Chain A
Amino acid sequence: MNIVEVHNLEKSYGSNQVLRGLNFQAQAGEIIGVIGKNGAGKSTFLEILMTIKDYDGGHVVLFQKDIQESNLDQIRKQISVVLQPTQFYKTLKVEELLKLFKAYYRSNIKIHQIIMDFQLEPHRKKYFDNLSGGWKQIVSLAIAFLSEPKLLILDEPTTGLDPHMRNMLWTYITNYNTRTGGTVILTTHNMEEIEMYCDKVMLINNGINEVFDTTSGILASGFPSVHEFYLQKVTI
């Protein structure tokens, strides 16, 4: 079942056309990495999927519904996101943020359960603003999981994190994917992560999906790694 279908997507900022007819599909349970150089339009693409950015042309269908003809609140209930940089109300403590978002999502998940699952007990009483970058991302992911989303969108979730925190974050993401069959779409500049965790890769270049293939397909086509594939396909 297709969770996301994008046809001929176009988006410009003034005279700068960022997306020039991009096509994309994501099925239930897939983890898809979106790569491309800085300014390629990755974040723009994700923000359109998040339903917070308008677009100029094409069609975006989420959960079998065209987002321009649907109730966005109904669609948003099924999506969760981790943004870069992650920001929440800075004067709320971690536990308070979880409670507030639990109310937003009308979630049945117990707060103490999510605190336990994400090892947040030592940080429960800390202000979000006082957490390290890694723990902010973990809290952001914990909040994202409160809604038990069918689609999880992550914009550079591991940027700036040390290897342990990166590993921890990926463990949560892959566990969620395995446990719930939820779809994950993310951007990253870390090609090693793409190779390790993603089922498919979409390379955005010159505003289109220049390559959209399985990770194994890319490796089978003769590239020794996704990193090498990126270097050969994308020029500065």
Chain B
Amino acid sequence: MLMTQLKYDLLMFSRELFYLVFTIVVPPVTYLFMGQLFGEQTYAGNLNYAETYTPSFILVITFTVVFFAFGFDQVMQRTTGVEKRISISPVSKKILLLSSIIRAILMTSFGFVLISVIGYLMYDLQLRFWSVILSYGFFILLNAVLLILASAIYSFFQRMNSALVFSIVIFQVVIFTGGLAMPIRLMPNFIQVVADFNPLYHMNNLFIAIWNGQFSLDSQTLLSSGYLALLVMVALICLHIQNKRKIG
């Protein structure tokens, strides 16, 4: 049953132009475009463009897949009545959820490979086996964090339009205050303050450090990890409360 559900979930994803454009078209094109503009510069930690922005754009794809194709999709199914119709069918909720999670991980993994290959071919990105494995492992952890956050956030939406507006706004906020498009230190002060509260900013810093073998346990990484752990705990509590309101 899981394989059947997954097959149709992937088929539906491939037919949603909105998801496709925001997940596997816009981020790689932006990565290429930004590379043409700023490819020669050196960034924090003495890293080049590919070393800094390859993990960042993988994270952008992960964010868009998880927030649009997983979180927003849940609101769409709920508000259009599809969720109600499926809930009457004898298919386990666990199967449906697991299929959505696997679909999201497959799509984000595709993004991981796509951006890495572009970086390798266009910007001389160095790919070392164990470093890639370690980065992929951490990337899966980031997937899990984002899936939990997205589930909790979108569980509050009862109307598709408000969820859509929220998704588009949050996409802009996350990109600009996450350090995903350009360095936060070049931004105005208030953006830098907002960035401190943006989980993607902390994920991005941790991911860049792990991708480049520069991760060390210091106050900054502990702060970022602690903040993300706190958000995950709050999200899990929200999900627990929301689930208790629903009938089995």
Binding site for B on A (CB under 8 A): 50-54, 72-73, 76-77, 79-81, 83, 85-92, 96, 100-101, 103-105, 147
Q: Which of A85, A104, A105 contacts B81 (CB 8 A)?
A: A85
17 additional A-B pairs beyond A54-B247, A72-B248, A100-B8, beta carbons within 8 Å, are: A50-B88, A51-B88, A52-B88, A76-B89, A81-B85, A81-B88, A83-B81, A87-B82, A88-B82, A88-B85, A89-B12, A89-B82, A92-B8, A96-B11, A100-B4, A103-B1, A104-B1
- Across the interface, which residues of A come within 8 angstroms of B4, CB to CB? 100, 103
- Across the interface, which residues of B come within 8 angstroms of A89, CB to CB? 8, 12, 82
- A-B contacts, 21 of them at CB < 8 A, read A51-B247, A52-B247, A72-B248, A76-B90, A83-B84, A83-B85, A87-B82, A89-B12, A90-B80, A91-B11, A91-B12, A91-B16, A92-B8, A96-B8, A96-B11, A100-B4, A100-B8, A103-B5, A104-B1, A104-B90, A105-B90
Contact B12 A53 (CB under 8 A): no
Contact A73 B15 (CB under 8 A): no
Q: CA separation between A215 and B200, bound complex, in Å? A: 63
Least distance between A96 CB and chain B CB atoms (Å): 7
Q: CA separation between A81 and B87, bound complex, in Å? A: 11
Provide the B1-44 mask, 1 if CB < 8 A to any CB of A, else 0: 10011001001100110000000000000000000000000000
- Across the interface, which residues of A come within 8 angstroms of B247, CB to CB? 51-54
Given contacts A53-B247, A91-B12, contact A104 B82 (CB under 8 A): no
Given contacts A83-B81, A83-B84, A83-B85, contact A77 B90 (CB under 8 A): yes
Q: Which residue from chain A places its CB closest to the CB of B93 in the assembled complex?
A: A73
Interface size class of B (residues with CB under 8 A): 20 to 34
Q: CA separation between A73 and B91, bound complex, in Å? A: 8
- Across the interface, which residues of A come within 8 angstroms of B16, CB to CB? 91
Q: Which residue from chain B places its CB closest to the CB of A78 in the assembled complex?
A: B90
Least distance between A110 CB and chain B CB atoms (Å): 17
Least distance between B247 CB and chain A CB atoms (Å): 5
- B242 interface residue (CB < 8 Å to A): no
- B243 interface residue (CB < 8 Å to A): no
Binding site for A on B (CB under 8 A): 1, 4-5, 8, 11-12, 15-16, 80-82, 84-85, 87-92, 247-248
Least distance between A72 CB and chain B CB atoms (Å): 6
Contact B88 A92 (CB under 8 A): no
- Across the interface, which residues of B come within 8 angstroms of A50, CB to CB? 88
Q: CA separation between A100 and B12, bound complex, in Å? A: 12
Q: CA separation between A87 and B90, bound complex, in Å? A: 17
- Across the interface, which residues of B come within 8 angstroms of A86, CB to CB? 81, 85
- Across the interface, which residues of A come within 8 angstroms of B81, CB to CB? 83, 85-87
Contact A52 B90 (CB under 8 A): no
- Across the interface, which residues of A come within 8 angstroms of B80, CB to CB? 87, 90
Contact A104 B91 (CB under 8 A): yes
Contact B1 A73 (CB under 8 A): no
Given contacts A72-B248, A83-B85, A103-B4, contact A91 B90 (CB under 8 A): no
Q: Which residue from chain A places its CB closest to the CB of B4 in the assembled complex?
A: A103
Q: CA separation between A56 and B21, bound complex, in Å? A: 46
- Across the interface, which residues of B come within 8 angstroms of A81, CB to CB? 85, 88
Q: CA separation between A105 and B92, bound complex, in Å? A: 11
Identify the 3 closest CB pairs spanning chains A and B, nearest first. Answer: A87-B81, A91-B15, A104-B91
- Across the interface, which residues of A come within 8 angstroms of B88, CB to CB? 50-52, 76, 79-81
Q: Which residue from chain B places its CB closest to the CB of A73 in the assembled complex?
A: B90
Least distance between A75 CB and chain B CB atoms (Å): 9
- Across the interface, which residues of A come within 8 angstroms of B85, CB to CB? 81, 83, 86-88
Contact B89 A105 (CB under 8 A): yes
Q: CA separation between A80 and B247, bound complex, in Å? A: 18
Q: CA separation between A103 and B92, bound complex, in Å? A: 12
Q: Which residue from chain A places its CB closest to the CB of B7 in the assembled complex?
A: A100
- Across the interface, which residues of B come within 8 angstroms of A85, CB to CB? 81
Least distance between A30 CB and chain B CB atoms (Å): 21
Q: CA separation between A91 and B13, bound complex, in Å? A: 9
Q: Which residue from chain B places its CB closest to the CB of A53 in the assembled complex?
A: B247
Q: CA separation between A50 and B87, bound complex, in Å? A: 10
Least distance between B76 CB and chain A CB atoms (Å): 9
- Across the interface, which residues of B come within 8 angstroms of A53, CB to CB? 247
Least distance between A215 CB and chain B CB atoms (Å): 28
Q: CA separation between A224 and B143, bound complex, in Å? A: 66
- Across the interface, which residues of A come within 8 angstroms of B91, CB to CB? 104
